[in-house]
Structures are given as C-alpha cells and as structure tokens.
Structure 1
Amino acid sequence: MDVYEAIRTRKSVRAYLDKDVPQEVLLRILEAARLAPSAKNLQEWRFVVVRDPRTREKLARAARNQAFVAQAPVVLACCAETDGHVMTCGQACYPIDVAIAIDHITLCAVAEGLGTCWIGAFFEDQVKEILGIPPHIRVVELLPLGYPQDPSPVPKRRLPLEKIVRWERWE
C-alpha cells in the first residue's frame, strides 16, 4: 500500500477484534515513528507499549471511560521528553515532533491492516501514575492499536481543497 492509499483509507477505529498484534508488526510500526523528523533532530518522543489487559482497562478509565481503549490489544502512550527545548519563536518543539511520529505510526498501522484512534481526552496525571511515567515526561496522546472489527473504508467527509487552501495570501 502506498502512502496516498493509507491516507485515503485511514479512519478512527473504536472497535477492535480480539486478536494480538504480532511483535514484528509492532516493531515495524514503531520503527516508522523512530524515523520521523524532529526539530533540531531532538527526537523527543518516547513510547510506552501496553499489552496487559488490566493496565489497558485502567488507561480506558483515565481516558474518560472510553471503553474501546481497553478493547484494543495494544495501547501506546505517546510521550515526550520535555527538557525545555523551545524554538526561536518561543514554541516548544515536542508537541509537533510527537504528532509527526504518531502520524507515521497511524499510516503504517493502516498499511499493516491495523486501526488506531488518536486519544487526546485523558487525565495525564492518572496515565502517568498507571504507567510509572516520571514528572518531566509529558503524555501527549494515547493511541489504541489493533485489528478493526469493521475493516471497510468509511467515506471521508472533507471540505474541498478550494475551501481550505489560500495561495500566496489569505485574501
């Protein structure tokens, strides 16, 4: 599958089969994250791979009781080292860098026949406690990962290009 097909067919998956993700598949997906670009090549992303059902259940509760988080056979806690690296414009590097790495994961997951769903609604302090994450690490996203119950593509409702693109200036 080429990257354009992965982009066209990626969808948020909230129902997963009870089927393990092979370790070699998971490693290929994580390798894609490792290869993502980052500001100043800082590579601030860190990932906690969670397979344990009890821990996934706790994460689901910390994610505002989104049960499908526990249903996925793997949950990635997508984190960042936050050593204060700030771009010259004053913005922290890690939110963008981690998002790029996560997007690499989501697209490679599609290519492997897997589904994901970006989870930003969670209580970070609870996730950190559940996973033993130290204070200087930020949890940016939770990412359930597994085989979708319904692998059929969903038509994407997206605005047309002319509604979202301006050429040269806003006017």
Structure 2
Amino acid sequence: MNEVLETIHNRKSIRAFENKPVPYDVTETLLQAAMRAPTAGNMMLYTILKIDDQELKDKLAVSCDNQSFIARAPLLLVFLADYQRWYDYFLHCGVEELCRTRNLNLRKPGVGDLMLAVNDTLIAAQTTVIAAEALGLGSCYIGDILEKYEYHRDLFHLPKYVLPVTMLCIGYPREDAAERVKSRRFDEKYIVQRNRYYRLEGLELDMMFKESTRSKLVDGAVNAGQDFYLRKFASEFSVEMTRSVQAMMESWSQ
C-alpha cells in the first residue's frame, strides 16, 4: 500500500485537538490543495470561509447542534456552494443586453447548477481532508451547517446563489483522540454493485446492519434500525436539516 492509500485508510474523524494553532503556511498548503480539487468545467463553484473570529466560532458551536468542540477547533473552514460569482460575472459582461439583442430570456442559476456547485464544493472539502491527514492534522466534518439556513445566511452575509454545504474542524489531534479506534465500514458486497441497482431485502439487510447495534438502545427501540430512526433520522436536528435545505433550494430557484 502506497502513502496516499495509507493516508486514506488511516483517516478517522477527530474532535479533540491540541491547544495550538495551525501555522499559516500549513493552512495555505491545505487551501492550495483544496483549490487543486477536480471541478466542473474548471469553474470552481465554491467559496471557502476561513473562520478565525472566536465569537463566530462560538456561535457556530451553538447553531451546529451545540457541539462545543467546534469553538475550540484551531482551524474552522466553511465550504459554500457558490454560483453568485459566475452570475455576477455574466451580468458584468453584459449578458442581459446580449439576451435582449437575441430575444432570449435571461437564464438564472437553477437546481441543476446548484447540484453542480454542491459537487464542486464537497470535492474541494474532501481534498482538504486528505491533505490535512497527510500533514499530520485531524479533521471532522460538520454536516449541521446545513441546518438553520436563514441564521447562517445572515451570519455570513450570503447572497442568493451562495449556500453553506459543509464545515471542517481541523487541528493537531490530541493523543487520546489519535488513539481512538477507527469506525467500521459496511462490507463492500453491500455497497458496490455491478451495472444495475438492486434493493437489499430481509436477511441481506439483517446481515449488513448486524454490527450496527449499540450496547444501549434509545428508549422504545428494540433493534438497530429503530434505534437509528429515533436517534438520528427522525430527530429534531434531522427534521430541521430537511426544512433548512428545502428553504435553501426555494431561495435559490425562486
């Protein structure tokens, strides 16, 4: 196994960091790696917010499901899907007048453009994660940035065609965090399929999820599926995330 593959296979989420900053040159190395990520049509449909204001960190720790470690992360990066920059450039270049002379309706970014921008954004974020791991840093994705869209929109002064997609906490792993056992993954036979999709049934589902049962289930649950449903899928934060993302899409497309 080469070094790149070792980096990928050894990576795990880190939520406890040493109390020391990520040096400027290391941060720049991470950002340069992110900007070399694959991107649709070389458009780079994302913006990366480097959060170094402690008051902002504190607010994000609360708004992102009250996770206090976010406020203590040495480096906090928010990845935004961004079509505003290109749309502003179109207008700057006189596209409105061009459309009028050709008797065309001015096209605005739609949901397809949103999905393309989200793809770009996540690819850049994951490239940052691998680069951080290669540099001896730990990282943790924060999907809760998808919640409370209106609050985060105002917090970051986001225009219409800019949406928060994910957030990364990055720092040097604390020793106890570095020694934590990596989380397991499902067997490849359940994830990789050939040529067509098929749905798992009955015993296949039981076999796939047999190691997912926690030692203590949430009250009222009798198996891993019910436990995860109540604890995650139907939880308040998950319902809010769905509402928030729906609001993002409506704001973008209206």
Both structures adopt the same fold (TM-score exceeding 0.5): yes
Q: Percent identity?
A: 33
Corresponding residue for 1:27?
28
* Greater RCO (Cα-Cα under 8 Å, separation 6 or more): 1
CA–CA distance in structure 2, aligned partners of residues 17 and 4 of structure 1:
26
Corresponding residue for 2:37?
36
Q: Which one is further off, 154-163 or 51-60? A: 154-163
Corresponding residue for 2:195?
168
Q: Which one is further off, 149-158 or 20-29? A: 149-158
Corresponding residue for 2:72?
71
Q: CA RMSD in A?
A: 2.1
Structure 2 residues without counterparts, runs of 5 or longer: 88-108, 199-254
Which has a greater percent of helix? 2
Corresponding residue for 2:61?
60
- 1:68-88 deviation per Cα after TM superposition (whole angstroms, max 9, x unaligned): 11110111111121352665x
Structure 1 residues without counterparts, runs of 5 or longer: none
- Counterpart secondary structure, 2:142: coil
Corresponding residue for 2:178?
151
- 1:41-61 deviation per Cα after TM superposition (whole angstroms, max 9, x unaligned): 211111110122222111111
Deviation at 1:124, TM superposition (A): 2.8
- Counterpart secondary structure, 1:55: helix
CA–CA distance in structure 2, aligned partners of residues 48 and 86 of structure 1:
23
Q: Which one is further off, 13-22 or 129-138? A: 129-138
CA–CA distance in structure 2, aligned partners of residues 5 and 134 of structure 1:
40
Q: Tell me how many residue pairs correspond in the alignment.
A: 169
Corresponding residue for 1:50?
51
Say if 1:85 and 1:93, in contact at 8 Å, map to a contact too. Answer: no
CA–CA distance in structure 1, aligned partners of residues 162 and 4 of structure 2:
31
Amino acid at match of 1:163: Y
Q: Which one is further off, 1-10 or 31-40? A: 1-10
Alignment of 1:125-144 (within 5 A): 125-144=150-169
Deviation at 1:130, TM superposition (A): 2.5
